Amino acid sequence: MKLILDNIIYSHVKQGGVSNYWFELSKHLIKSNHDVTFYEGTNSISNFHRKLLKIPNEKIIKETKNYRSSILERMAKVNINEKEPFLFHSSYYRSLSDTTFGKEVTTVHDFTHNFHSSFLKKQTHNFLKYKSIKKASGIICISDNTYKDLLKFCPPKKNQKVTIIHNGVSDDFFILNKENINQLPLSIEKNGYILFVGGRQNYKNFDFVINILKETSYKLVVVGEALNKEEKLKIGNAIDNVDVLTNIDNITLNILYNNALALIYPSNYEGFGIPVIEAMKAGCPVIALNSSSIPEVSGSAGLLLNELNSIEAKEYLAILSKNTERDIIIEKGIKQSKKFSWEKCCSETEEFYKEIY
C-alpha cells in the first residue's frame, strides 16, 4: 500500500494535540511495511514533534514554494506525480490535485471554529475544512462527539466511508516510583499545586482557574505559553503562586502530573482532550467541565463540573485532599486510561486505510 502523508500541520503550529496525533501516526507508519512518503515545507522542522520524528531523507518530498500566508498554503493543492494507486492523508485539511490514482483520507479533530471563532475566521477555516471533508474517500473522527458534530455541520455523502478512531495516550505517562516521583522542576510540594495544561483561548476558561487560585491556598502550575499582560493583571497579587513552564518534554510533564493535586480542565469544547487521559494514566485526578467530548474520554473517572462553579470545584479539591477517596479516583482514572493507546489508534487507522485503498 502506497501512502503519502502531508505534514502541513508542522508548518502551522509549534506543538499541540493535532501535531501530537500526526507525530504518533507517522512514527507508527514509518515502522510499518507500507511504502510511506511525506510531503512537507521547509519550515516544518521548527515544530516540537517534527524534531522528534526520524524520517529518512529519501522518504521526503520537499515543498519548495514559499507562501505569503498560512491560508494560501492550505488553499494550494498538493501535486503528486504518481502512475499507480496511492492514498493521500493530510494532517490539516489540505487537498490533493485531481488525479486518476490518488484517494484521500482526512481526520476531523473538532468543530471548535463553529462554536468559538469570529465569523470571518470560521468562514475561512470551514471553507478549507469542508472542502477537504467533501473530497475525501475516507473520514476519521477522533471521538463520538466529533462525529455528531460532523453530521450536524458537514454531513458525509453515502459513498464516503466514515469511522470513529479515538486518540491515544503516550506511554511516556505512567505512575512514577518513590525514587523518581519528587523530581519536580519547581520548589513546591507534592499535592501542593493544581495543574493547567494546554492553550488558553477564551473557550478554555483559564479565568476560571485564576478564580480557583485566588480562592484557595494551592499554587498553580501552567504548562503552555508565557502569561500575557491581561492574564497577569487578572492574577494580580496571586502571581507569586503561579509557575509557568513552556516547551517541556513528556518526562517533565509526567512528573508534574504525578505530583499535582489535580489537573483542572474547564474547557467548553474539545474534540478529544488529550491532557485528560494523560493525567489519568499518570495517576493525576481530573476536574473538568461536563461538556463536548470530555465525558466520553474521562468516563466515570473524571470529577465533572456541570457549570463553571468555583464552589463545586473547591469541593472536589477537598475530596482529593483525603487519601482514601483520592486513591479510589486515581484507580478509576488508570482503568479508564487503558481504553486508549496510540498503538490502538494507529492500528485502527492502518486498517481503515486498507478499506479505502
Q: Residue 279: its pLDDT value, please?
A: 98
pLDDT of residue 42: 76
Question: Measured in whole angstroms, how far is the alpha carbon of residue 308 from the centre of its chain?
Answer: 22
- 320-333 pLDDT, tens digit each: 999 899 999 999 99
Report pLDDT for 232.
97
Least Cα distance to 187 among 243, 126, 252, 247 occurs for: 243
Confidence of residue 65 (pLDDT cuts 50, 70, 90): confident
Residue 256: per-residue pLDDT? 95
Side-chain-facing half-sphere of 244: CA atoms under 13 Å:
14
Residue 108: pLDDT above 90? yes
Q: Tell whether the model's pLDDT for residue 126 goes beyond 80.
A: yes
β-strand pairing of 86-90 with 2-6: parallel
Q: State the pLDDT at residue 298.
A: 97
Q: What is the mean pLDDT of residues 79-89?
A: 90
Q: Which pLDDT value is given to residue 274?
A: 95
The DSSP string of 100-141 is SSEEEEEEE---HHHHHS-HHHHHHHHHHHHHHHHH-SEEEE
For residue range 229-249, list pLDDT tens digits in order. Answer: 999 999 999 999 999 999 888
Quick check: 80 pLDDT over 90?
no
Strand order of the β-sheet with 35-41 is 60-63, 35-41, 2-6, 86-90, 102-108, 138-141, 161-164
What structural domains does the chain harbor? 2-168+341-356 (3.40.50.2000), 193-337 (3.40.50.2000)
Q: What strands lie across the sheet with 262-265, from one edge to the other?
A: 242-245, 219-223, 193-197, 262-265, 286-289, 303-305
Residue pointed to by grid coordinates 491515544? 168
pLDDT confidence band for 22 (50 / 70 / 90): very high
Question: In b/e form, how buried is each residue of 166-182, taking b as 16+ CB within 10 angstroms?
Answer: bbbbbeebeebeeeeee
pLDDT band at 83 (very low <50, low <70, confident <90, very high): confident
Q: Is residue 150 predicted with pLDDT exceeding 90? A: yes
101-105: which pairs have CB atoms within 8 A and are 24 or more residues apart?
A: 102/4, 103/137, 103/138, 103/356, 103/357, 104/132, 104/135, 104/136, 104/137, 104/138, 105/136, 105/137, 105/138, 105/139, 105/140, 105/352, 105/353, 105/356
Residue 63 near residue 41 (C-beta atoms within 8 A)? yes
Distance (Å, whole) CA 24 – CA 6: 14
Question: Which parts of 154-273 fold into alpha helices (H)?
Answer: 206-215, 229-235, 250-259
pLDDT in tens, 302-354: 999 999 999 999 999 999 999 899 999 999 999 999 999 999 999 999 999 99
Q: If pLDDT is split at 50, 70 and 90, which confidence band does 93 have?
A: very high
Dihedral angle sign, alpha carbons of residues 67, 70, 75, 80: positive
| 107 band by pLDDT with thresholds 50, 70 and 90 | very high
The lowest-confidence range among 73-87, 161-175, 289-303 is: 73-87
Q: What is the mean pLDDT of the chain?
A: 93
According to the model, what pLDDT value does residue 157 have?
Answer: 96
pLDDT for 182 beyond 80:
no
pLDDT > 80? residue 293: yes
pLDDT at 328: 97
Percent of the chain whose pLDDT exceeds 90: 80
How many percent of the chain have pLDDT more than 70? 99
